[in-house]
Amino acid sequence: MQKVNSMKKVLLYSKFERFWHWTQSMLIILLGLTGFEIHDTFRLFGYETSVRLHSAAAWAFLILIALAVFWLFVTEQWKNFVPTTKNIKAQVAYYISGIFRDAAHPTKKTKLSKLNPLQRIVYLVLIILVFPVQLLSGFLYMYYHYPANPIQLKSLEWVAIIHVAGAYLLVVFLIIHVYLISTGRTIFSNLKAMITGYDLVEEEKAK
């Protein structure tokens, strides 16, 4: 008996996953643009408008994260983010050299395992470390300046440094993420999957 691989079109990303992905992407971009304008990096919306947009986007991001965490546990999709060392060396080698030699991808997508080992680590760090730190430091900085609800802190310099450092990390992540989108079967296959929800996955059949 011989096993052969065939491609099957499956619904890999649910409606909520796609809503979460695209809403989160837009909010991160908006937070980045308004945040860097607040720091006078460039001029786009105007300072006062940027402050209002940044605050509104921060609250929207907090609500989105709460909904996403609830959805992850209800659907047990949190298992996709559990780190693993399986195939991690092969995945690193693929990104370093294999991808430029048209080598086969070492990790196969399934409905229960959508992320490769490196993605699992990066996304888990974002969810449990970078996003919470950004939200906490951002709200500390925001409400310290509101007379109606002042938070007594000796200095906000360290809060600002942490918040800006996190912003640069997210910019780097966004650039790398956009590049890696193009590394699927075709240059647009990953993008199309996140729009429609459907993707081709390999399945083994006995022959």
pLDDT at res. 152: 57
Confidence of residue 17 (pLDDT cuts 50, 70, 90): very high
What pLDDT is recorded for position 135?
92
C-alpha pair distances (Å), 75 with each of 33, 48, 116? 33, 41, 20
Helix axes 157-181, 189-196, angle to 10 degrees: 110
pLDDT band of 86, cuts 50, 70, 90: confident
Find how far residue 32's CA is from the centre of its chain.
14
- Structural domain including 124 reads 3-206
Spatial CA neighbour of 114 closest among 78, 86, 90, 89: 78
Beta strands in the chain (DSSP E): 3-11, 198-206
- Which pLDDT score, from 0 to 100, does residue 2 have? 43
Distance separating alpha carbons of residues 53 and 61, to the nearest angstrom: 12
The CATH number of residue 148's host domain is 1.20.950.20
Q: Give the tens place of pLDDT for each residue, 104-116.
A: 788 888 777 888 8
> Mind listing the pLDDT tens digit for each residue in 138-196?
888 877 765 455 555 566 778 888 999 999 999 999 998 998 888 877 888 889 999 99
Instruction: Please count the structural domains in the chain.
Output: 1
**Over residues 49-66, mean pLDDT:** 94
> What's the rounded Cα separation, in Å, for the pair 103 and 189?
17
Query: Which uninterrupted H or E stretch holds 171?
Result: helix 157-181
Q: Is the pLDDT of residue 65 over 60?
A: yes
Distance CA 187, CA 180 (A): 9
The residues near 136 (Cβ < 8 Å, ≥ 6 apart) are none
pLDDT at 111: 73
Predicted local distance difference test score (pLDDT) of residue 206? 46
How does 174-185 read in b/e, with b if 16+ C-beta sit within 10 Å? Answer: eeeeeeeeeebe
Cα 29 to Cα 51: distance, rounded to the nearest angstrom: 15
Does the pLDDT at position 95 exceed 70? yes
Q: Which residues contact 186 (CB under 8 A, 6 or more apart)?
A: none
Q: What is the pTM of this model?
A: 0.83
Exposure of 145 by Cβ count < 10 A (0-12 exposed, 13-18 middle, 19+ buried)? exposed
The pLDDT mean for the chain works out to 85
